[in-house]
């Protein structure tokens, strides 16, 4: 029993030694524990201060939370708007997809068109696909420009110029030539082609008027010349008398064009004006010439200079009086306001006074004095 007791005592001693060592370590750790408690106290003080600051900042925290709530509400509204915009974006993408499908269909149609164009054997004109030719819309277009039997077609040409102007009328022959070039070597080469409209009508009137004007001028001048040859028994007098009338006419035309085109700004002289002005002015002017030269022929017993001077003295007042009376008559057309009548009146008035005051008093006596006795050639005085 002692042996066991001795062993227990040894174990107890060892445990006591360990306990003493632990107490020594505890004694050594007490300062650290005290220091830790002090630090804990400082931490508790800081915690108390922090809690005080938290309490002080609680109103601010409450305001911040309110602002946070408002911000979240705005964010929610933004998400709602974004939802609508996403819907619009979806619609836009859908439309874009539809557009791409249409482009794809258009490219397919273009490919079919090019394939048909490559397979056609017609070298002139332009190619139209069969589905277009068979569509109702194309029939409506044909009805607008073609007759029901599809044998008559019309095409509209709109000028940039005034349709009544000379520039527009000058385009009519070019249009006809263009149509001939376009229909050459085609099925329409032998078709009847006509150009209508206001411009074409006035162009035709201008052509007819010009042809009639030329014929009238030739016939009048030839007829008047023949009458003057028999009246004055001379071939020289009719030549310079007709020349004086032509000079007067073109001078009056030039003055009238300056007035109406360059000054008043009209596009030109009316197509009927030259014709009627020539007929009236030549008829009146040749009367004045006959008045003077017939009296000149009566003084055959005098010299050429004396005969012409005496003739001008006798007939000058008659010619000037007639010119004034006829000038007043044609001046009565001025208030009419009709452009062609205004132009005719202007040409006649200018020509009358030009012939009565300048040509007859100056040009004709100079010609008579120049030819002298040859005025009655080939007939002798």
What does the domain layout of the chain look like in residue ranges?
Answer: 1-104, 142-195, 200-376
> What's the CA angle centered on 22, arms 17 and 28, to 5 degrees?
130
CB atoms within 10 A of CB 122: 10
Grouping H, G, I as helix, E, B as strand and the rest as coil, residue 153 is strand
> What's the CA angle centered on 14, arms 8 and 18, to 5 degrees?
140
In sequence order, what are the beta bridge partners of 153? 146
Looking at the structure, give the CATH architecture of the domain made up of residues 200-376. Answer: Up-down Bundle (1.20)
Q: How does DSSP classify residue 373?
A: G
- Quick one: angle between helices 171-183 and 198-232, nearest 10? 120
* Element spanning 319, H or E: helix 304-331
Q: How far apart are CA 349 and CA 259, in angstroms?
A: 13
Which tokens go with 211? 């042809």
Q: Are 323 and 288 in contact (CB under 8 A)?
A: yes
pTM metric for this prediction: 0.55
Token pair 């931490």 in the structure block, residue = 43
Q: Are 224 and 242 in contact (CB under 8 A)?
A: yes
Q: Under 8 Å CB-to-CB from 145, ≥6 apart: which residues? A: 153, 154, 155
Full pLDDT tens readout for the chain, 381 residues: 788 878 877 777 777 777 777 777 766 777 777 787 778 778 777 877 776 777 676 677 677 777 777 777 777 777 667 666 777 777 777 888 888 888 877 777 777 766 766 666 665 567 777 777 778 888 888 888 888 887 888 888 888 888 877 788 888 888 888 888 888 888 888 888 888 888 888 888 888 877 887 888 888 889 988 988 888 888 888 898 899 999 999 999 999 999 988 888 887 788 778 888 888 888 888 888 888 888 888 877 788 888 888 888 888 888 888 888 888 888 888 787 788 888 888 999 999 889 888 888 888 888 888 888 887 787 765
């Amino acid at each position: 029993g002692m042996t066991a007791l001795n062993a227990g005592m040894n174990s107890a001693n060892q445990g006591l030694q360990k306990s003493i060592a632990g107490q020594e370590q505890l004694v050594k750790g007490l300062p650290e524990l005290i220091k830790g408690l002090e630090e804990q106290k400082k931490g508790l003080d800081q915690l108390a201060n922090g809690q005080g600051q938290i309490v002080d900042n609680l109103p601010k925290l409450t305001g911040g939370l309110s602002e946070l709530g408002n911000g979240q509400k705005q964010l929610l509204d933004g998400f709602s708007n974004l939802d609508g915009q996403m819907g619009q974006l979806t619609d836009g993408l859908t439309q874009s997809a539809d557009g791409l499908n249409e482009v794809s269909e258009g490219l397919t149609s273009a490919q079919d068109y090019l394939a048909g164009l490559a397979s056609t054997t017609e070298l002139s004109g332009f190619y139209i696909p069969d589905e277009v030719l068979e569509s109702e819309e194309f029939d409506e277009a044909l009805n607008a420009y073609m007759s029901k039997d599809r044998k008559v077609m019309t095409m509209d040409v709109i000028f940039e110029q005034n349709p009544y102007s000379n520039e527009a009328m000058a385009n009519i022959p070019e249009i006809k030539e263009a149509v001939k070039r376009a229909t050459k070597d085609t099925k329409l080469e032998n078709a009847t082609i006509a150009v209508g409209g206001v411009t074409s009508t006035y162009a035709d009137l201008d052509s007819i008027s010009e042809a009639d004007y030329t014929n009238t001028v030739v016939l009048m001048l030839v007829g008047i010349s023949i009458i003057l040859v028999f009246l004055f028994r001379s071939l020289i007098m009719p030549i310079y008398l007709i020349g004086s009338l032509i000079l007067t006419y073109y001078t009056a035309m030039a003055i009238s064009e300056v007035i109406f085109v360059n000054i008043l700004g009209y596009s030109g002289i009316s197509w009927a004006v030259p014709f009627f002005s020539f007929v009236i002015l030549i008829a009146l002017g040749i009367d004045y010439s006959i008045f003077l030269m017939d009296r000149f022929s009566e003084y055959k017993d005098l010299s050429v200079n004396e005969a012409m001077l005496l003739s001008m003295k006798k007939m000058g007042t008659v010619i000037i009086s007639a010119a004034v009376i006829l000038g007043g008559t044609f001046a009565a057309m001025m208030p009419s306001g009709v452009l062609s009548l205004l132009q005719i009146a202007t040409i006649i008035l200018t020509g009358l006074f030009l012939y009565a005051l300048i040509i007859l008093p100056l040009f004709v006596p100079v010609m008579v004095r120049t030819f002298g006795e040859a005025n009655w050639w080939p007939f002798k005085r």
